[in-house]
Structure 1
Amino acid sequence: MADIHIQREHGLGLAEARKIAFKWAEQVEEKFDMECTYEEGKTEDLVSFTRSGVSGTLVVTKDSFDLNAKLGFLLGAFKDKIEGEIVKNLDTLIAKKPAAKKAAAKKKVA
């Protein structure tokens, strides 16, 4: 089995991070045929995901995303590619939020 651990710090706060995590869960369900469950908490949320050969969690807090996944034997051979895809998707979702805020701020100034 191969393990993947990805941690991303952010300054979005829990409400915005929650929106990103929910969007991420929707994307992996659609693109990778994952089954996701989303549990909201007071200080952190937990997204659990699974499919044949993969299981893991994404912990969402006001200042970080912490993803842990276990890949089965067959998918373990593709660990680097899978990890790269997860990083790309998560980083893209995180990057969209600050850009949207900057665009809104520019519109107010103009």
Structure 2
Amino acid sequence: MSEIRIVQEHSLNPEQARAAAQQVAQRIAAEYGLDCKWDGDVLRFGRSGVEGDLSLEGQRAALRIRLGVFMGVFAPAIEAKVTDKMRKVFAPA
């Protein structure tokens, strides 16, 4: 099982950070067919072979994705796409 961890610092207020997290989730959910659900300040997502969460912790967003054997082959491409999206949506205004 492969694991991807991305931490993105930001200066957004809690509402803006949640909206940014939702943008990231919608993008990866659409692209990889994931189900997403908020659990407090943690957005959990998954499907067969993929699971993870996006936590909002003060001025940082921490993303963790665990990929099964088949999806692990795509880990570098997934990490690059998600890192880019997080940088864009959590960037300072």
Question: What is the TM-score with the length of structure 1 in the denominator?
Answer: 0.77
Structure 1 residue aligned with 2:84? 88
Structure 2 residue aligned with 1:10? 10
Aligned residue pair count:
93
Shift of 1:28: 2.0
Q: Is the 8 A contact 2:9 2:90 kept in 1?
A: no
Say which one has the larger Rg: 1
The separation in 1 between residues aligned to 2:36 and 2:43, in whole angstroms, is 7
Match of 2:90, SS state, is: helix
Partner of residue 60 from structure 2, selected from 40, 53, 64? 64
- Of all paired residues, the percent bearing the same amino acid is 29
The separation in 2 between residues aligned to 1:66 and 1:83, in whole angstroms, is 13
The separation in 1 between residues aligned to 2:29 and 2:64, in whole angstroms, is 17
Shift of 1:27: 2.0
User: Which amino acid in 1 is paired with 2:85?
Assistant: N
Unaligned runs of 5+ in 2: none
Structure 2 residue aligned with 1:54? 50
As a proportion of its length, which structure holds more helix?
Answer: 1
Structure 1 residue aligned with 2:29? 29
Q: Which stretches of structure 1, 4 residues or more, deviate above 6 A after TM superposition?
A: none
Q: Is the 8 A contact 2:5 2:63 kept in 1?
A: yes
Structure 2 residue aligned with 1:75? 71
For residues 8-67 of structure 1, give each alpha carbon's deviation from its aligned partner in whole angstroms, at most 9, with x where no partner exists: 111112121011112222222222211000123xxxx10001022110010013300001
Name the structure, 1 or 2, with higher relative contact order (CA <8 Å, separation 6+): 2
User: Which amino acid in 2 is paired with 1:63?
Assistant: Q
Structure 2 residue aligned with 1:106? none
Q: Is the 8 A contact 1:13 1:61 kept in 2?
A: no
